[in-house]
Chains A and B, each alone.
Chain A
Amino acid sequence: MAAEQAKVDPMHQFTIEPLFGTDHWAIAGYNIAFTNSALWMAITAVVLWVFVAGGLKRQVVPGRWQMAVESFTGFIDNLLAANVGPAGKKYVPYIFSIFMFILFANLLGLLPLALVGLHPFTFTSHFSVTGVLAILSFAIVLVVGFWRHGFHFFSLFVPHGTPLWLMWLIPVIELVSFLVRPFSLALRLFVAMMAGHVLLEVLSSFVIDSTNAGPGWAAMIGIPSFVLMIAICALELLVAGIQAYVFALLTSLYLNDAENLH
């Protein structure tokens, strides 16, 4: 029985729980309970707001905080300038929002707040969230593409230099690869975040269970697992940044298709 209780469920951390007794909230029959996921979205938004607001002093000679915020906006600006060109300037607010929102969500979800009794929740490890973000990006690409090019946007499915006798095949492949984009965007982020958290959870259960089993097991399994956990924590910090960057980069590449159409 005691062993049963000590068992760690690595998926439990992804459980969504309504908070503050809001589980009956609904609009038109759809449940909109304020959950731990929504709470961490709110925390992410507030932390991001505080971060950017701290850099809004608009000094000619910037302080450290302003410098940090400006380096992020400059990073997104360069990303769009490199991938979309001058027309990419107008997407800076959206790409900045999506990049920083995902980045802060990933990083906040990694905070070791369990040490003080709180449980961070990484909402980017839910495909219901990453899916909405991916569909947003994809919808913007579609709207921009059809707005700027009309039905000519369909020529996106016919790459330059396609031989005539392959016209029955290439557009189909291109169409499929185009339609897969929102899924790949959403699943990549969701899988990367979930896998990292599961891995950390599993390793931590190794540490706990082996230490409970005795000092010999702790030395043999617990300590190596703990060292590996530290290394993987560093890797997860990297992944948090890389996944946010990949999401922003791919969105800007898709926007380049919509803006410049080959």
Chain B
Amino acid sequence: MPQISQLAETYSSQIFWLLIFFGFVFFAIGRGMVPKVMATVEARDQQIAADLAAAEAARNAADAEEEAWRVQANAQRAEAQSVIAAAKLDAAKASEVRLASASAAIDARVGEAEARISAARGDALKEIETVAAEAASDIVARLAGVTVDAAAAQGAVKEVLHG
């Protein structure tokens, strides 16, 4: 077993070279390079965390913006509704006023026309009386040969016509 049989002659060389090469591994690789590798990993983890946080913040901002937009849209819609309602009311009022004036004008014309009609009827009645009186006095003169004066004839006609 060389590990034991050669121990006395080789232990110093084994220890010496092991310390040399393990010392190199520890100081050059363990102390020199490993911290850099781990710093890289750390930096990457931090960047990932920062990116995730930024994405989260951006999403929150987008949500807030959408919420604000929705509130604004709702407000604008409500405003538009009220404007429409006011316009409807105005239009209704205006048409009411115009209808009223139009109906007043129509009423006035109807009244005027009725007045004209009644006047025309009165005139016509008077004419009928006159014609009837003349016809009555004519008929009396021809049948009885009596001359009746106009006033009497008229009175008689009036009496018959109006009862």
Contacts and interface: CB of A to CB of B under 8 A. Distances in A.
Interface of A: 11-12, 14-16, 18, 27, 30-35, 37-38, 41-42, 44-45, 48-49, 52-53, 55-56, 58-60, 62, 66, 69-70, 73-74, 77, 92-94, 96-98, 100-101, 123, 125-129, 132-133, 136, 190, 194
B38 to A, nearest CB: 5
A229 B144 CA distance: 174
Nearest to A89: B38
A32 B12 contact: yes
Contacts, number: 140
B17 A93 contact: no
A45 B33 contact: no
Nearest to B9: A31
Interface stretch (B24-32, B56-64, B107-115, B148-156): B24-32
A132 to B, nearest CB: 5
Nearest 10 interchain pairs by C-beta: A38-B17, A93-B30, A97-B30, A30-B12, A41-B21, A128-B14, A97-B26, A32-B16, A14-B2, A45-B21
A200 B63 CA distance: 67
B1 A32 contact: no
Interface of B: 1-3, 6-7, 9-22, 24-26, 28-31, 33-38, 40-41, 43-44, 47
A115 to B, nearest CB: 23
A contact patch SS: helix
B10 A58 contact: no
Contacts of B29: 45, 48-49, 52, 96-97, 100
B15 A70 contact: no
Interface of chain B: mostly helix, strand, loop or mixed: helix
Contact of A96 (B3, B10, B34, B41): B34
Given A15-B2, A92-B34, A101 B16 contact: no
B153 to A, nearest CB: 133
A94 B23 CA distance: 10
Q: Which residue, of B1, B3, B20, has the highest number of chain A Cβ atoms within 10 A?
A: B3
Contacts of B13: 16, 18, 31-35, 37-38
A35 B20 CA distance: 13
B37 A52 contact: yes
Contact of B10 (A31, A42, A125): A31
Contacts of A37: 10, 13-14, 17
Contacts of B33: 52-53, 56
A141 B40 CA distance: 29
B40 A128 contact: no
A60 to B, nearest CB: 6
A77 B38 contact: yes
A16 B2 contact: yes
A127 B30 CA distance: 23
B36 A58 contact: yes
Contacts of B6: 15-16
A242 B144 CA distance: 166
A132 B38 CA distance: 28
A128 B34 contact: no
Contacts of A62: 40, 44
A214 to B, nearest CB: 33
Nearest to A77: B38
A34 B3 contact: no
B25 A100 contact: yes
Contact of A48 (B11, B12, B25, B41): B25
Given A31-B13, A42-B21, A126-B14, 17 more contacts: A11-B2, A14-B2, A16-B2, A16-B10, A35-B14, A38-B17, A44-B25, A45-B22, A48-B25, A49-B24, A69-B37, A70-B40, A92-B35, A97-B30, A126-B3, A128-B14, A129-B14
